């Protein structure tokens, strides 16, 4: 009897299925990269069969001749039979494993921060992938966030994603809002696994550089920049408003880099091209200024005899310690004077001296400064002094009284070193001037101030421009949004409110009466104690920066 072949057929079918399962196994085109896969299928089948057989036998038995008996014997047999079949099939097949892709490089263009707005970037990636395995992946453009700074200071922007399905070079173009850095994250995969890599882009500007256009038209808007550390913002009882960025360090840590970029972007985008950076300690001068200079921002150093002026009301430069402290501030500039972004007027490094009207015995100190700056930079410094009086109850014009004071002051030999005259905080008279037999008082109250200030400001600028320009110096008017220091008895008891309409009119007049060097100055960028700031704040947002832009754009059109 032939045995059934069903078990063997089942085994062969199962083995065929095993060979047809490709999974991650692919045929190799490169014999050198082949691995060997041995597949063995062994199957044993045991089958038991039971067979029953029956046989019948008849026997005749004769007792007598007449009697015969017939016996029938029936025999039944049961046979059990066990059949065991073992089949072993072995197959050898070559295959190749996939190596994870390699992200060779990620490039972004622009690869630096341009001087103007950036509205799109180009990303180029190069993926090395196994030729036997399909490579696929994605590129993400993620707006970077800064947990220690307020989100409201940055544009609201979602991440963008691009897909690719092959190795090699891929180029993508992404539209961006700017005003921050971006994280470019690449993920490349195949059947062997995935690889990830990322880079951080440079800062990209959010705003068109209006300051650059103004400068080409002969208008330079500067502002006084206070080099704050975050501790400054902890004295909330004396702050008028809070910066939109939050409490920041303008220098000294990693996040300061973004703070500086935001300030540059905001300032340039609304017409401001120069920061006069106020620094009190010589050792901090290069630390503060270098960050801005490296970013292409035009900066100049604002100096004074801070302690003497604030504590004694004047600074005598014949005093050895006073002179050394003052001169050391300027000498701390060192090689920064040669930086192409250091602010120059007529090719000369500019320095702004605050409260210079209170200085005495200046000649020797100024001679030393001139020698040093010329030795380092090759040019004499361009000294700008805060000397023009503010607008008081009784006007101070450049008449005989002023000329007598100027002649007396000039007797120390310091006046010949000065190239430009300016004032402070929009010529607001905020504190009395008290001298020998002299007391000049501010405008008495807020209602009177509101009525007369703008007309007096107009007259003040006309008269002082004529006087200063006729003396061969440049007249630099000052503009300010307001003033408040009511908690300090040395100053006026009322607030000069932060009035955007008055600010715009002051700005228009300042541009009209600017001197031959083309500069007007806004006091200040970020003094949140005296309420003179134009930096975006939580309360005002961009109100005062937009006011500057509204005014200066009109002049750009007129001068075009």
Question: Do 65 and 117 reside in the same domain of the chain?
Answer: no
Residue 358, SS3 per DSSP: helix
Dihedral angle of Cα 128, 129, 130, 136, to the nearest 10 degrees? -170
Residues 525 and 460 in one domain: yes
Q: Is residue 214 part of a domain?
A: no
CA–CA separation, 334 vs 233, rounded Å? 31
Range of the domain at 114: 102-200
Q: Let me know whether 244 and 111 are in one domain.
A: no
- 446/420 same-domain check: yes
Is 441 found in the same domain as 313?
yes
Residue-by-residue pLDDT tens, the chain, 560 positions: 444 444 544 444 444 544 444 433 333 333 334 454 555 556 666 666 666 666 666 655 555 555 555 555 666 666 566 666 565 555 555 556 889 999 999 999 999 999 999 999 999 999 999 988 999 999 999 999 999 999 999 999 999 999 999 999 999 999 999 999 999 999 999 999 999 999 999 999 999 999 999 999 999 999 999 999 999 999 888 899 999 999 999 999 989 999 999 999 999 999 999 999 999 999 999 999 999 999 999 999 999 998 898 888 889 999 999 999 999 999 999 999 999 999 999 999 999 999 999 999 999 999 999 999 999 999 999 999 999 999 998 878 887 778 778 888 888 999 999 999 999 999 999 998 876 667 889 999 999 999 999 999 999 999 999 999 999 999 999 999 999 998 899 999 999 999 999 999 999 999 999 999 999 999 999 999 999 999 999 999 999 999 999 999 988 776 55
- Give the CATH number for residue 254: 3.20.20.80
Last residue of a domain, one of 43, 69, 95: 95
Q: Which of 95, 130, 153 is the last residue of a domain?
A: 95
For residues 455 and 506, give the distance between their C-alpha atoms in angstroms, rounded to a whole number: 10
- Spatial neighbors of 118 by CB under 8 A, at least 6 apart, are 110, 176, 178, 204, 205
Residue 208 lies in a domain: no
Say yes or no: 396 and 517 in one domain.
yes
Residue 555 is predicted with a pLDDT of 80
Is 57 a member of any domain? yes
Task: Examine residue 223 and state whether it is found in any structural domain, yes or no.
Answer: yes
Residue 213 lies inside a defined structural domain of this protein: no
Distance CA 494, CA 444 (A): 9
The distance of Cα 387 from the centroid of its chain, to the nearest Å, equals 37
Is there a single domain that holds both residue 161 and residue 46? no
Q: Residue 326's CB: how many other CB atoms inside 10 A?
A: 25
pLDDT at 53: 62
Question: Is the same domain home to 368 and 235?
Answer: yes
Q: Which of 74, 95, 116 is the last residue of a domain?
A: 95
pLDDT attached to residue 17: 45
What is the residue whose two structure tokens read 């016996």?
71
To the question of pTM greater than 0.85 for the whole model, the response is: no
Same domain, 67 and 122: no
- Tell me, yes or no, whether 380 and 512 share the same domain: yes
Q: Do the beta carbons of residue 442 and residue 406 sit within 8 Å? A: no
Structure confidence at residue 536 (pLDDT): 99
Cis peptide bond N-terminal to 524, omega within 30: yes
Number of domains in the chain: 3
Instruction: Specify the pLDDT at position 144.
Output: 98
Specify the CATH number for the domain of residue 168: 2.60.40.10
In a domain, 473, yes or no: yes
Answer yes or no: do 367 and 515 share one domain.
yes
Tokens at 350, concatenated: 């500019």
What pLDDT sits at residue 199?
98
3-class SS string, 413-449? CCHHHEEEEECCHHHECCCCEEECCEEECCCCCHHHH
Predicted pLDDT at 95: 56
Please check whether residue 139 is in contact with residue 123, taking contact to mean a CB–CB distance below 8 angstroms: yes
In a domain, 81, yes or no: yes
Q: Is residue 370 part of a domain?
A: yes
**462/477 same-domain check:** yes
Q: What is the pLDDT of residue 84?
A: 63
């Amino acid at each position: 009897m032939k045995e059934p072949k069903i078990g063997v057929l089942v085994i062969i079918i199962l083995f065929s299925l095993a060979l047809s399962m490709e999974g991650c196994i692919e045929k190799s085109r490169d014999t050198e990269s082949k691995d060997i896969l041995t597949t063995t299928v062994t199957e044993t089948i045991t089958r038991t069969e039971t067979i029953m057989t029956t046989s019948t036998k008849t026997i005749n038995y004769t007792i007598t001749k007449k009697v015969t008996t017939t016996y029938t014997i029936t025999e039944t047999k049961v046979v059990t039979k066990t059949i065991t079949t073992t089949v072993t099939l072995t197959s050898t097949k070559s295959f190749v494993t996939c190596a994870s892709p390699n992200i060779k490089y990620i490039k972004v263009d622009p690869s630096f921060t341009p001087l103007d707005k950036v509205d799109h970037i180009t990303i180029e990636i190069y993926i090395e992938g196994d030729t036997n395995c399909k490579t696929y992946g994605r590129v993400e453009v993620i707006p970077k966030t800064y947990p220690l700074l307020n989100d409201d200071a940055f544009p609201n922007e979602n991440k963008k994603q691009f897909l690719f399905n092959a190795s090699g070079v891929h180029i993508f173009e992404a539209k961006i809002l700017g005003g921050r850095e971006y994280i470019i994250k690449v993920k490349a995969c195949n059947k062997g696994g995935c690889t990830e890599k990322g880079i951080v882009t440079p800062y990209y500007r959010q705003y068109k550089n209006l300051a650059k256009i103004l400068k080409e038209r002969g208008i330079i808007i500067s502002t006084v920049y206070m080099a704050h550390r975050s501790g400054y913002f902890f004295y909330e009882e004396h702050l008028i408003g809070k910066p939109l960025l939050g409490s920041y360090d303008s220098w000294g840590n990693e996040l300061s880099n973004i703070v500086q970029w935001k300030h540059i972007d905001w300032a340039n985008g609304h017409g401001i091209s120069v920061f006069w950076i106020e620094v009190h300690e010589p050792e901090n001068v290069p630390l503060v200024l270098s960050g801005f200079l490296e970013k292409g921002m035009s900066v100049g150093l604002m100096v004074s005899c801070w302690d003497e002026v604030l504590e004694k009301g004047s600074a005598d430069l014949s005093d050895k310690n006073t002179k050394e402290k003052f001169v050391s501030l300027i000498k701390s500039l060192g090689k920064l004077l040669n930086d192409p972004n250091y602010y120059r007027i007529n090719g000369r490094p500019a320095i702004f001296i605050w409260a210079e009207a209170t200085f005495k015995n200046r000649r020797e100190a100024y001679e030393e400064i001139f020698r040093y700056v010329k030795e380092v930079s090759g040019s004499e410094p361009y000294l700008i002094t805060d000397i023009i009086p503010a607008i008081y109850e009784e006007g101070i014009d450049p008449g005989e009284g002023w000329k007598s004071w100027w002649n007396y002051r000039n007797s120390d030999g310091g006046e010949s070193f000065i190239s430009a005259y300016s004032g402070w905080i929009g010529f607001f008279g905020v504190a009395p001037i008290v001298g020998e037999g002299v007391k000049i008082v501010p405008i008495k109250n807020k209602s009177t101030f509101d009525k007369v200030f703008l007309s007096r400001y107009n007259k003040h600028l006309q008269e002082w421009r004529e006087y200063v320009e006729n003396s061969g110096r440049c007249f630099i008017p000052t503009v300010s949004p307001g003033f408040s220091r009511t908690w300090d008895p040395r100053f006026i008891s009322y607030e000069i409110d932060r009035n955007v309409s008055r600010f715009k009119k002051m700005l228009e007049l300042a541009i009209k009466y600017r001197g031959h060097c083309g500069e007007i100055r806004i006091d200040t960028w970020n003094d949140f104690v005296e309420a003179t700031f134009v930096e975006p704040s939580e309360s005002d947002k961009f109100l005062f920066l937009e006011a500057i832009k509204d005014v200066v754009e009109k002049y750009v059109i007129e001068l075009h």
